[in-house]
Amino acid sequence: MNIGIMVFSKTGNTLSVAEKLRDTLFEKGHKVTLEQVTASNGVEMDPKKVVLSNSPSTQGYDMLVFAAPVYGFGLAAVMKAYLQGVPSLEGKLLAGFVTQAFPFPGMGGKQAISGMEKLVKAKGGTLSATGVVNWMFAGKRKALIAETVETIAAICQ
């Protein structure tokens, strides 16, 4: 499968998980491209005010993974703005995950994934696998990273 991982990461947490996912998918024999979504005002909370400086193309991939941090108990506005701008996602295999500082998914992670699901749905797609990585405690973080990578890798046999 030709897989694109589209990641927004300001301080590197989400990127590090995306890199693990890339390596795992690559080891399974897939062609994987990791692209970074960037903005000149990355911590902006209003997606309408986000100025994207890199908005990678979603064309040509069989599967796409979207990854971003939780900001303000929801999906980071940079990822919202990016997803609002992508063309139709119909017919593609899709997955998404978020990372967050707080230790429980109810503290923004779940809301961020529902926000991502809504935006993907507006483009005709559905997330077939999702993950939330709570960063605060090292042991839990490690387990959640492994679980997220495994869950997403499992949908592309």
Ligand X SMILES: Cc1cc2nc3c(=O)[nH]c(=O)nc-3n(C[C@H](O)[C@H](O)[C@H](O)COP(=O)(O)O)c2cc1C
By the criterion CB under 6 A, which residues form the site for ligand X? Answer: 9-15, 43, 69-73, 99-102, 107-108, 135
8 Å CB contact between 75 and 68: yes
Q: How far is the CB of 132 from ligand X (least distance, A)?
A: 9
Give the nearest distance from C-beta 42 to ligand X in angstroms.
Answer: 8
For residue 112, the minimal CB distance to ligand X (Å) is: 8
Q: Considering the complex, state which of residue 41 and residue 151 has its C-beta at the smaller distance from ligand X.
A: 41
Q: Of the two residues 77 and 94, which places its CB atom closer to ligand X in the complex?
A: 77
Q: Collapsing DSSP states into helix, strand and coil, what is residue 59?
A: coil
Instruction: Considering the complex, state which of residue 62 and residue 73 has its C-beta at the smaller distance from ligand X.
Output: 73
Give the pairing type, strands 127-134 and 63-71: unpaired
Give the nearer residue to ligand X in terms of CB position, either 58 or 134: 134
Kindly give the residue spans of alpha helices, DSSP state H, lying in 2-137. Answer: 13-27, 77-85, 109-122
Q: For the CB of residue 29, give the shortest distance to ligand X in the complex, in Å.
A: 27
Nearest to 50, CA basis, from 62, 60, 37, 59: 37
Bridge partners (DSSP) of residue 99 are 69, 133
For the bound state, the minimum distance from the C-beta of residue 18 to ligand X, rounded and expressed in Å, comes to: 9
Tokens, residue 83: 């997803």
Packing angle, helices 13-27 and 138-154, rounded to 10: 40
Nearer to ligand X, 11 or 88 (CB): 11
